[in-house]
Amino acid sequence: MPAMYLFGQNGKMAVGHRPSPQIEVPRPMMLSVMRAFAKAVANAEPHTAMHQDETARFAVLLARRLGLSATSVRLIRLGALLHDIGKIGIPPSLLLRPGPLSAAEFALVKEHPRLGWEIVSEIEFAVPVATVIHQHHERLDGSGYPGGLGEGAIMPESLVVAVADMAHAMMSRRAYHAGMNQATVIRILESDRGSRLPADCVDVAVDLLRCERLWRASSLQ
């Protein structure tokens, strides 16, 4: 019998969350479909693809240090690898512009989690991955987007991806900002600790950032 993904409740994180959805699918099938999606992103948005790869490396290490189940780690890996896939539906002129965006332009960029959900949820067995993609900008206090979901309504896997995404985005040099130094990234993450982001997740992320070489050398496997 082939290995299966079973995305289930992990119960290891400190904050209360609803159970993750349950789905079983042969692992090779899931991986091949996710690779196809990732290739589409790499062709359309190479910078986004690189960010997703690095975010996934960090998110997997974070999830393991948090003691999450193997099934949750796999969901986090796949969700992180595709979390910004919706950006292929956003004009590159907005994503790469060095200057500030207007309110209307920023609103368009903020559509990318919903666009990602629409793409990936077309594959029925990938709905849990699509849900992580949809929720990766949600925050515990309801200040995130697109749903303004609060604590208990966000999958724990989505929050792990959110922390990894924030950390990598802040450290990366992008068209609209230079990469921040380690101390600044840690200060910003800690300012959201327990309010917008789970405290345990931030604590582990900060530990990992302090030994950057470790997570950069980590494997996705």
Site of interaction with Fe ion (CB under 5 A) = 84
Supply the minimum distance, in Å, between the C-beta of residue 137 and Fe ion: 6
Query: H or E segment at 6?
Result: strand 4-6
Could you tell me the smallest distance in angstroms from the CB atom of residue 103 to Fe ion? Answer: 18
Residue number, 71 or 137, with CB nearest to Fe ion? 137
In our burial notation (b when 16+ CB lie closer than 10 A, e otherwise), range 156-171 reads bbbbbbbbbbbbbbbb
Is the CB of 54 or the CB of 84 nearer to Fe ion? 84
Closest residue to Fe ion, judged by C-beta, is: 84
Choice between 20 and 158, CB closer to Fe ion: 158
Q: How far is the CB of 183 from Fe ion (least distance, A)?
A: 24
Secondary structure (DSSP) of 139-161: -TBS-SSSS--BTTSS-HHHHHH
Rounded least distance, CB 129 to Fe ion, Å: 14
SS3 per residue for 171-217 = HCCECCECCCCHHHHHHHHHHCECCCECHHHHHHHHHHHHCHHHHHC
Residue with Cβ nearer Fe ion (84 or 157)? 84
Residue whose CB is less far from Fe ion, 90 or 204: 90
Q: Which residues have a Cβ under 8 Å from the Cβ of 121 and sit 6 or more positions away?
A: 127, 130, 131
For residue 141, the cross-strand partners are 150
Residue 112 CB, nearest approach to Fe ion (Å): 6
